[in-house]
């Protein structure tokens, strides 16, 4: 305990009361009484908790145990268990929430999401191998490691993420201005978080820009029906949402945090972003694409925006534009009925109950719904759109020390406000 880092909790960084010091005798780290309670819940196969002041007998004539604690300590423990922690992760030193404290400690020691085995080996620390390495831990990491989900630079775990991410979507509860909770279909893409009345709606009921928001996690599980509530603090309003499962809660909060950090800290809002809002302009003609630039063309069924009627349209897809016509164009001067800017979009397979041959295209200004003439036709169109996705991806290291420092300071300032 004489070392300065050991006087502060290894997990929440708070000063440890001198008469209430706790430690893990197998991990070799010291923590406060609040974090000690969470360590006990991990199980003795992960962390064996003892009190420095109360469990006096264990320290008597136990030179091996004392040597282990002196050899490790909090400084070494942090090097091993907190390598490349992404800036978007919630830490208890900024968010005084029991749920955040529990999740943080569980991720560090049970999931070992930030574990550095090379550092442990270099320091000669024989730490317990109680679970598979973080590279193999996928159950928690559907936040961003799904095959059909977000882009990750292979071998870099949770830290380096391709931005902008693939669209995050799903059902959440939302509280309206009158305090009533309503189920809403939510989408996060780019710097826009939208909520819809139905999953088949093209236009949102409301939208929140993530460039200047604070994501506030819940203190604990809140109720049997809404379970996990979280807040999005925007400049003009406090929005309240709720997830039914803990994993779902953190998936949404971390996705929102990544979006907020990227568009507010990295590229200064959506300025300079590849993603443009949909601005009116003169309609395009078939010749604007050119025969050499066509990626795919053919018929698709398209759902209308406001009335949801399905109509057959001829689509011409290029790297920059997708034009659609009432029939196959016969001349280069033929004006399209509508167009979609390919400068920022995501393509998603719809739920099976929505139609086996359908897929959707998510943009900042609208969600488009399409249907192929067959499953193979749907897959061919889906793959054609997918090939255009990666051209604007920029890999960002969320564990960059300068970025982490800025976000930590911003979090602490926001929570005090």
d(CA 339, CA 165): 23
CATH number at residue 351: 2.30.29.30
For residue 23, is pLDDT > 50? yes
For tokens 């992404």, the residue is 86
The residue segments making up the domain with residue 230 are 160-273+394-416
Residue 152 lies in a domain: no
Question: Do 216 and 255 have their domain in common?
Answer: yes
Read off the pLDDT of residues 266-322 as tens digits, 9 standing for 90 and up.
876 544 444 544 454 568 999 989 888 999 999 999 999 888 999 999 999 999 999
Rounded distance between C-alpha atoms, residue 390 and residue 162, angstroms: 9
User: Residue 122: what pLDDT?
Assistant: 77
Please report the pLDDT score of residue 65 as a whole number: 79
**pLDDT tier at 96, thresholds 50, 70, 90:** confident
E-strand spans in 116-180? 160-163, 168-175
- Is 222 found in the same domain as 85? no
Which range is least confidently modeled, 97-106, 122-131, 184-193? Answer: 122-131
Any domain includes 303: yes
Can you tell me the mean pLDDT for 352-372? Answer: 89
What's the pLDDT score for residue 6?
Answer: 92
What pLDDT does residue 349 have? 87
CATH number for position 113: 1.10.220.150
- Apex CA 174: angle with CA 354 and CA 310, to 5°? 25
Nearest by Cα to 324 from 310, 308, 312, 309:
312
Do 29 and 111 fall into the same domain? yes
Say yes or no: 116 and 171 in one domain.
no
DSSP state of 351: P
Q: How confident is the model at residue 148 (pLDDT cuts 50, 70, 90)?
A: very low
327: nearest Cα among 315, 344, 317: 315
User: Mean of the pLDDT values across residues 365-390?
Assistant: 92
- Please check whether residue 364 lies inside any domain of the structure: yes
Query: Does 108 share its domain with 176?
Result: no
3-state secondary structure of 339: strand
Read off the pLDDT of each residue in 360-365 and give the average, rounded to a whole number. Answer: 93
- Residue 142 belongs to some domain of the structure: no
Question: Do 257 and 311 reside in the same domain of the chain?
Answer: no
Beta bridge partners of 169: 187
Cα–Cα separations (whole angstroms), residue 373 to 41, 311, 314, 351, 355? 54, 12, 12, 17, 11
When divided into structural domains, the chain yields a total of: 3
State the pTM of this model: 0.87
Mean pLDDT for the stretch of residues 72-85: 91
Per-residue confidence (pLDDT) for residue 139, from 0 to 100: 35
For the ranges 140-154, 250-264, 307-321, 363-377, which has the lowest average pLDDT?
140-154
Residue 261 within a domain: yes
Residue 323 within any structural domain of the chain: yes
Asked if 174 and 105 sit in the same domain, the reply is no
Specify whether 298 is located in the same domain as 381.
yes
- Cα 319 from chain centroid? 27
Residue 236 shares a structural domain with residue 304? no
Tens of pLDDT, residue by residue over 52-75, are 888 777 777 777 777 778 778 899
Say whether both 332 and 380 belong to one domain: yes
Residue 187 sits in the same domain as residue 231: yes
Range 139-160 average pLDDT: 47
Closest CA to 365 of 336, 344, 348: 344
Q: Are residues 304 and 374 located together in one domain of the fold? A: yes
Domain final position from 73, 94, 122? 122
Higher pLDDT, 244 or 314: 314
Written as one string, the DSSP assignment of 370-413 is: EE-SSHHHHHHHHHHHHTTGGGG-EEEETT-HHHHHHHHHHHHH
């Amino acid at each position: 305990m004489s070392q300065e880092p050991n006087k502060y909790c290894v997990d929440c960084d708070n000063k440890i009361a001198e008469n209430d010091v706790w430690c893990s005798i197998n991990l070799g780290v010291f923590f406060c009484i609040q974090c000690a309670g969470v360590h006990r819940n991990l199980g003795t196969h992960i962390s064996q908790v003892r009190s420095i002041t109360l469990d006096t007998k264990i320290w008597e004539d136990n030179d091996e145990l004392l040597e282990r604690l002196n050899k490790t300590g909090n400084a070494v423990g942090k090097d091993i268990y907190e390598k490349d922690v992404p800036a978007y992760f919630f830490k208890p030193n900024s968010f005084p929430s029991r749920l955040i404290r529990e999740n943080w400690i569980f991720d560090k020691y049970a999931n070992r999401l930030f574990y550095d085995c090379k550092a442990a080996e270099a320091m000669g620390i024989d730490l317990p191998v109680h679970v598979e390495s973080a590279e193999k831990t996928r159950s928690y990491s559907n936040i961003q490691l799904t095959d059909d989900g977000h882009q990750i630079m292979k071998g870099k775990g949770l830290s380096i993420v391709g931005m902008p991410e693939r669209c995050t979507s799903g059902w959440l509860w939302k509280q309206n201005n009158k305090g009533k909770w309503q189920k809403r279909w939510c989408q996060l893409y780019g710097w826009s978080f939208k909520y819809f009345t139905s999953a088949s709606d093209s236009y949102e009921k409301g939208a929140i820009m993530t460039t200047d928001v604070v994501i506030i996690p819940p203190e604990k599980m809140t109720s049997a029906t809404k379970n996990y509530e979280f807040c999005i603090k925007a400049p003009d309003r406090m929005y309240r949402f709720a997830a039914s499962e803990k994993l779902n809660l953190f998936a949404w909060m971390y996705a929102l945090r990544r979006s907020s950090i990227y568009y507010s800290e990295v590229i200064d809002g959506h300025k300079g972003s590849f993603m443009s809002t949909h601005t009116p302009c003169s309609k395009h003609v078939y010749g604007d694409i050119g025969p050499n630039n066509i990626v795919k063309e053919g018929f698709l069924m398209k759902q209308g925006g406001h009335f949801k009627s399905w109509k057959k349209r001829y689509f011409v897809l290029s790297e920059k534009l997708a034009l659609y016509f009432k029939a196959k164009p016969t001349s280069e001067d033929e004006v399209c009925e509508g167009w979609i800017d390919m400068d920022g979009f995501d393509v998603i397979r719809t739920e099976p109950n929505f139609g086996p041959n359908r897929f959707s295209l998510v943009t900042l200004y609208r969600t488009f719904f399409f249907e192929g003439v067959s499953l193979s036709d749907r897959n061919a169109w889906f793959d054609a759109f997918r090939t255009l996705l990666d051209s604007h991806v920029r890999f960002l290291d969320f564990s960059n020390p300068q970025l982490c420092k800025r976000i930590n300071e911003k979090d602490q300032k926001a929570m005090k406000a």
